[in-house]
Amino acid sequence: MELLYGLIYLVAAPVAGGLLTGLDRKVSARMQGRVGPPLLQPFYDVMKHFQKEKVVVAKIQNVFVLGYLLFMAFTGALFFSGGDILLVIFAMTLSHVFLVLGAYSTNSPYSFIGAERELVQMMAFEPMVILAAAGMYLATGSFYVSDIAGTGKALALLLPGLLLGFLYVLAFKLRKSPFDISSSRHAHQEIVKGITTEFTGSTLGRVEIAEWYELVLMLGFVYLFFGWSPPLALVAVALAYFLELVVDNSFPRLKWPFAVKSSWVAALALGMTNVAVLWYFARGVV
């Protein structure tokens, strides 16, 4: 069954991710007083990307972007098949390294700055997600996603600080304001499209599909905190995603130094405190 879940993710995640992206655009438009594009517009955009002429600045960028897509798909399949959550985190980081290398290979000043900010963004996100994995291990005694999801423990109540911290840095991965420092779908990005500036055609289409895979994977992380009750978990995932949309449309983008500092403060204040308290009680000190 776990292998089947991984295969289902490979097939269904791009569909679910594309629909969620379309819903994102629709809700954002309503918040801004607009009608917005059709729900299926992301799929139309990707199909159009693959129909365009293949023009690349450097051929090697296609290899790096393909690596980004394949490793992101592998990361999500490993997660939903119940694999080691630490390996999931490392594979996810490796996938973004491929994206950064693809941006560097174009020799464009805009994509170069975007690539550097993507690395900064990874530095901001990784501490919190690693702390979340450590907290789940302390609470369940296992690093395996299948064990964490099936433990029956109310992790959201045991790990409230980690949950809040994870929701705080989730905006980095979803490229939402105020943390859309490396790339943005909105017009306020001063480095044009940032890390994807020089990606066109099928190359950009692969990046879009990889981001759909990652969107579903990130919501899967939120699901783990409420895994003891699947109906509640689905509601929590929906509310978490809606919260990210509200924040995205309510706050301007922060400068990258402050964005990173705030994420580390959240990791220390919320994550480290929660892990320390959980470890203290797990050791039987009190």
**Does 69 score more than 90 pLDDT?**
yes
Q: Domain of 219? A: 2-282
The total number of structural domains in the chain stands at 1
Q: Which two tokens stand for residue 219?
A: 């919501």
Q: Which two tokens stand for residue 246?
A: 């509200």
Total Cβ atoms within 10 A of residue 256: 17
- Residue spans of alpha helices (H) in the chain: 2-31, 41-51, 60-80, 85-104, 109-140, 145-149, 155-158, 160-174, 201-225, 230-248, 256-266, 273-282
50 exposure class (CB count in 10 Å sphere: 0-12, 13-18, 19+): middle
Q: What is the pLDDT of residue 225?
A: 94
Q: Which two tokens stand for residue 244?
A: 């990210």
**Does 284 score more than 60 pLDDT?**
no
* Residues 171, 244 contacting (CB under 8 angstroms): yes
Q: What is the pLDDT of residue 185?
A: 67
Q: Look up the pTM and report it.
A: 0.91
**Does 190 score more than 80 pLDDT?**
no
Using the CB atoms, write b or e for 175-205: b if 16+ within 10 Å: bbbbbbbbbbeeeebebbbbbbbbbbbbbbb
- Using 50, 70 and 90 to split pLDDT, how confident is the model at 286? very low
Amino acid in position 151: T
Q: What is the pLDDT of residue 285?
A: 43
**Does 184 score more than 90 pLDDT?**
no
Q: Give 215's contacts (C-beta < 8 A, 6+ positions apart).
A: 17, 20, 21, 174
